[in-house]
Amino acid sequence: MIPKVTDYEVYKTYLGISRHFTTESYDYQKYCGKVRCSLQSFYKNKQRFWFEKLSRKYDDNEIKELFVSNYALSEDNSKIWIGNLVREGETLYSQWKKNQQSMSYLFRQECDTLFSDNKIDDVFDCSKGHPLLLKKHLSKEVSLETLIIIDRILNYKSRFDKSLSDPVWESVSMKMRKYGPFLNIDVFKYKKILKEVVVG
């Protein structure tokens, strides 16, 4: 079977996405996914087999989505390893694809969860620690995508960044910042949904 993409290209994409999600300074979009790695170092890599396996299964865009979905949905990005991505990452990737296809439906459901019994100000109130929005995300009632969409509409993240100085929020904030550029969000459409849920 002819590979859809070379194993070396898969390796470079993996390094780029990994650095993007685990370091403050590297930006995958800004650097167009470019990373320093030589072909020689790749061929010396003992994990080369995993990249070859992925290269036979997915095309370039699917490879990127596989890595992004796993880094975005993972509890702890520092524990992601290429072997696990090959063996278990497909489950997360499939779930992520389903979520992307039904994003507006999920967004409406999650906004109902947030705003049906709560005033809008209470959802974002940081005066007593973690706001309800963050608590709902941590209890998996509100997805990372919904956090990002609401931020694109209401721009609350910068306020949270100033008010909350704990590792839990810092981790979520970084993940939002790193994952957001990979999402194609029609702000006008989601603004309409949010308004319908909040105003009725």
Instruction: Please state the three-class secondary structure of the chain as a single string.
Output: CCCCCCHHHHHHHHHHHHHHHHCCCCCCCCCCCCCCCCHHHHHHCCCHHHHHHHHHHCCHHHHHHHHHHHHHHCCCHHHCCHHHHHHHHHHHHHHHHHHHHCHHHHHHHHHHHHHCCCCHHHHCCCCCCCCHHHHHHHCCCCCHHHHHHHHHHHCCHHHHHHHCCCHHHHHHHHHHHHHHHHCCCCHHHHHHHHHHHHHC
**Average pLDDT score, the chain:** 93
pLDDT, mean of residues 163-190 = 96
Tell me which architecture the domain covering 7-99 has in CATH: Orthogonal Bundle (1.10)
Range from 39-53, 69-83, 172-186 carrying the lowest mean pLDDT: 69-83
What are the start and end residues of each CATH 1.10.220.50 domain in the chain? 102-199
Residue 2 predicted with pLDDT over 80: no
Q: Give the confidence band of 87 by pLDDT, cuts at 50, 70, 90.
A: confident
What are the start and end residues of each CATH 1.10.8.60 domain in the chain? 7-99
Q: What is the pLDDT of residue 139?
A: 96
What pLDDT digit, counting tens, does each position of 120-171 carry?
999 999 999 999 999 999 999 999 999 999 999 999 999 999 999 999 999 9
Check whether domain 102-199 has CATH 3.30.565.10, yes or no: no
pLDDT, mean of residues 1-10 = 82
